[in-house]
Amino acid sequence: MLTDLTDTTTGDIRAALAKTQGEMGGPATGVVLNLIIVTDESGQHDAVRAASQAGREHPCRVLAVIARDPRAASRLDAELRSGEGTPGQTVLLRLYGPMSEHADSVIMPLLVPDTPVVTWWHGVIPAVPAAQPLGELAQRRVTDAARAKAPAEALAALSAGYQPGDTDFSWTRATPWRSLLAATVDQEPYPITGGVVQAEEHNPTAELLTAWLGGRLNAPFVREISTGPGVTEVRLQTTGGDIVISRPDGRVATLTRPGQPDRHVALHRRDIAELLAEELRRLDPDEVYGEALAGVTGIPAIAG
């Protein structure tokens, strides 16, 4: 169901939300979180679609904040969506003029009470997400350095401004690699003395992976550049020979260990909805990300 409210107020939006809830069969919609998406007109479609897919796993009230012409007079337009095969509700909020500087005042009355808040910047990454009014509201702040024009700089900026509760999709993208690596090291009796992470240029996931491996294993890890896609290889050097996980096609990885047959495992790259769903699973600070991010600065990139 779609409801359009032009030049409206948060009070009217609340009333409209209550009304659609009533028509959907009472207030028991079981929304587990509020998801604020900071986006623009060009990005809102993809972002909201990802949110509603992730919403199947985490029913949420999606509040998409779309900044419009800042020189216009202050005005609020809202578009309410509910039903459409996903639980929860979606509200697209278009903020015109000076109001766009005060998005938090629009958002606050629309949050479901007693329910956690996550803010996702789909697009421009603020220098210090936690210092943003919409970031202060949230216990979890999600960015995506890979979408920035200069991902390495973006990651460095996030590192400088890191506050517990921050997270970035480039870290989420590392999870399948990290679980495969952890499982590999589970089976490894020999100490790991160093290694290599190979990925395409401008890949913040590879930077985080390199920093994480180096920090956790307390061994030198080198970042090499390949043609991609994404991360293409991780090599662990041990006193018993090299272990290599390579994924040249972005889909299937081959695990090579000395003295053992090659093993294949599906390691596909995930879409934004899956990444978001993973992010929304945990709402407490991700300290391991914080540590990896702190280790990112100053990794030398060597052409592979």
Partner 1 sequence: MKPNPLRDPRDRRIPRLAGPCVLVLFGVTGDLATKKLLPAIYDLANRGLLPAGFSLVGFARRDWADADFAHITHDAVKAYARTPFREDVWNQLSEGIRFVSGEFADDAAFDDLAQTVADLDTVRGTGGNYAFYLSVPPNAFPVVVRQLKRSGLSSPPPPSPATRGMQPWRRVVIEKPFGHDLASARELNAMLDAVFPASAVFRIDHYLGKETVQNLLAMRFANELFEPIWNRSFVDHVQITMAEDIGIGGRAGYYDGIGAARDVIQNHLLQLLALTAMEEPLSFAAESLRAEKEKALAAVQIPADLAVGTARGQYAAGWQGGLPVRGYLEEDGIAPDSSTETYAALRLTIDNRRWAGVPFYLRTGKRLPTRMTEIAVIFQRAPHLPFDATDTRELGQNALVIRVQPDEGITLRFGSKVPGSAMEVRDVNMDFAYGESFTESSPEAYERLLLDVLVGDPPLFPRQEEVELSWKILDPIEEYWATHDKPEQYPAGTQGPESADELIARDGRVWRRL
Burial class (CB in 10 A: 0-12, 13-18, 19+), 196: buried
CB of 180: closest distance to partner 1 in angstroms?
7
CB of 73: closest distance to partner 1 in angstroms?
41
141 binds partner 1 (CB under 8 A): no
Which window, 3-11, 40-48, 91-99, 245-253, contacts partner 1 (CB under 8 A)?
245-253
Contact between 10 and 109 (Cβ < 8 Å): yes
303 binds partner 1 (CB under 8 A): no
Question: Which of 30, 298 has the CB closer to partner 1?
Answer: 30
CB of 91: closest distance to partner 1 in angstroms?
19
CB of 55: closest distance to partner 1 in angstroms?
10
Rounded Cα distance, 284 and 176, in Å: 20
Give backbone dihedrals phi and psi of 69, rounded to 5 degrees, phi first. -45, 115
Question: Which of 39, 172 has the CB closer to partner 1?
Answer: 172
Question: Which of 6, 175 has the CB closer to partner 1?
Answer: 175
Q: Under rule CB under 8 A, how many of the chain's residues touch partner 1?
A: 48
The residues in 86-105 that bind partner 1, with binding defined as CB under 8 A, are 87
56 binds partner 1 (CB under 8 A): yes
Question: Which of 180, 222 has the CB closer to partner 1?
Answer: 180
278 binds partner 1 (CB under 8 A): yes
233 binds partner 1 (CB under 8 A): no
Q: Which 3-state string (H, E, C) describes the chain?
A: CEEEECCCCHHHHHHHHHHHHHHCCCCCCCCCEEEEEEECCCCHHHHHHHHHHHCCCCCEEEEEEEECCCCCCCEEEEEEEECCCCCCEEEEEEEEHHHHHHHHHHHHHHCCCCCCEEEEECCCCCCCHHHCHHHHCCCEEEECHHHCCCHHHHHHHHHHCCCCCEEEHHHHCCHHHHHHHHHHHHCCCCCEEEEEEEEECCCHHHHHHHHHHHHHHCCCEEEEEECCCCEEEEEEEECCEEEEEECCCCCEEEEECCCCCCEEEECCCCCHHHHHHHHHHCCCCCHHHHHHHHCCCCCCEEEC
216 binds partner 1 (CB under 8 A): yes
260 binds partner 1 (CB under 8 A): yes
Question: Which of 30, 300 has the CB closer to partner 1?
Answer: 30
198 binds partner 1 (CB under 8 A): no
Question: Which of 38, 142 has the CB closer to partner 1?
Answer: 142
CB of 260: closest distance to partner 1 in angstroms?
4
230 binds partner 1 (CB under 8 A): no
CB of 116: closest distance to partner 1 in angstroms?
12
- Return residues touching partner 1 (CB under 8 A): 28-30, 32, 56-59, 87, 172, 175-176, 178-183, 185-189, 213, 216-218, 240, 251-253, 255, 257, 259-268, 278, 282, 286-288
